């Protein structure tokens, strides 16, 4: 049985209460909106690339605590990173959320490991990964994405776009 309590850890609850980088960046170089039609949640991700480096990144939207905390911690994690490093982290996060990442081997997950438990809750995996989908879509100039869409970047190999 999954340890559900592990998912609602203080760090997640804190990011839900006080989301970091919450809002939108005006004149962003990249943006995308992600939808989860199963629950109506949506996340708007805006970012500015300075060269290959993420100068600033923000998110806004209406979602559950898991999704909001995931988005908040994502912005903290990728700010200042290069696009390539951010794409690597997206890959690792998606792998972790779907139970395919060996947390014992070298990775860049760090504090994001608090979301590892979501892989035991199949109905909640999409909540955790929606912001990461959306960030990936923003990098690739896909204006809108969905956890259910045919053109969902999840259906394409992430990082190879």
Maximum C-alpha span of the chain:
46
Element at 10 (helix H, strand E)? helix 10-17
Phi/psi at 50 (nearest 5 deg)?
A: -105, 100
Among 1, 27, 104, 150, binds another protein (CB under 8 A): 1
47-106 binders of another protein (CB under 8 A): 62-66
Q: Report residue 46: phi and psi, to 5°.
A: -125, 145
Closest distance to another protein from the beta carbon of 59 (Å): 16
Q: Determine, following the binding rule CB under 8 A, whether residue 6 of this chain makes contact with another protein.
A: no
Residue 113 makes contact with another protein by CB under 8 A: no
Nearest-CA neighbor of 135 among 76, 64, 59?
Answer: 59
- Is 121 a binding residue for another protein by CB under 8 A? The answer is yes
Name the site residues for another protein (rule: CB under 8 A).
Answer: 1, 4-5, 7-8, 13, 16, 38-41, 62-66, 121, 123-124, 127
């Amino acid at each position: 049985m999954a340890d559900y309590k592990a998912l609602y850890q203080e760090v997640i609850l804190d990011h839900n209460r006080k989301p970091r980088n919450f809002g939108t960046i005006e004149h962003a170089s990249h943006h995308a909106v992600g939808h989860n039609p199963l629950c109506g949640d949506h996340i708007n991700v805006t970012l500015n690339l300075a060269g290959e480096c993420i100068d600033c990144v923000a998110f806004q939207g209406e979602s559950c605590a898991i999704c909001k905390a995931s988005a908040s911690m994502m912005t903290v994690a990728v700010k200042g990173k290069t696009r390539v490093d951010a794409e690597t982290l997206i890959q690792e996060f998606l792998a972790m959320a779907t139970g395919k990442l060996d947390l014992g081997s070298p990775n860049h997950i760090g504090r994001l490991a608090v979301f590892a438990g979501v892989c035991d809750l199949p109905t909640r995996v999409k909540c955790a990964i929606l912001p990461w989908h959306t960030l990936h879509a923003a990098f690739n100039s896909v204006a809108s994405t969905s956890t259910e869409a045919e053109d969902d970047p999840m259906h394409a190999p992430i990082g190879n776009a």
